[in-house]
Structure 1
């Protein structure tokens, strides 16, 4: 399944696979998002797979949120790859 991003107000549904081949779609969708939105909610329930490029794109979005003092929430169970990445980052700290 390709990457699908839909939104309603500030709730974005992320479905499919987020990887090196389509991370540019994700980045384009959220380019300067915090110039238009004060808060952003990403629902990753439909995310079936993510590689390190996708994780990096989410981390960049998070960093932008912190820099601009905006709110970012990531909700949904998503895929295990994402949780394993953050779990390993937490253990390394």
Structure 2
């Protein structure tokens, strides 16, 4: 399946599948975004599937936002694997 990332200013909509085969596209898209904006919103509503590589990429984006004192909001029902990962990290903290 494909990965499509659309944006309007600091709002990004991720659609399709985020996996090992296309995670580089996700990372390239967000490489300089945190330099341009103080806050970004990423919608995962249309993310159909995500593997561990995709989860790690989103986790790295979150860590980068924290280290640069930027605000990252992840919205949408999204994939249960992703939310389980962040819920476990939140519980461990």
TM-score, normalised to structure 2's length?
0.91
Superposed displacement of residue 90, structure 1: 4.3
Partner of 1:23: 23
CA distance in 2, matches of 1:22, 1:6: 15
- Residue 79 (structure 2) pairs with residue 70 (structure 1): no
Provide the secondary structure at the position in 2 that maps to 1:21: coil
The CA RMSD measured in Å over matched residues stands at 1.2
Provide the secondary structure at the position in 2 that maps to 1:25: helix
Superposed displacement of residue 84, structure 1: 2.4
TM-score, normalised to structure 1's length?
0.91
Aligned residues: 92
CA distance in 2, matches of 1:38, 1:19: 27
Structure 1 residue runs of 4+, over 2 Å off? Answer: 84-91
Superposed displacement of residue 81, structure 1: 1.8
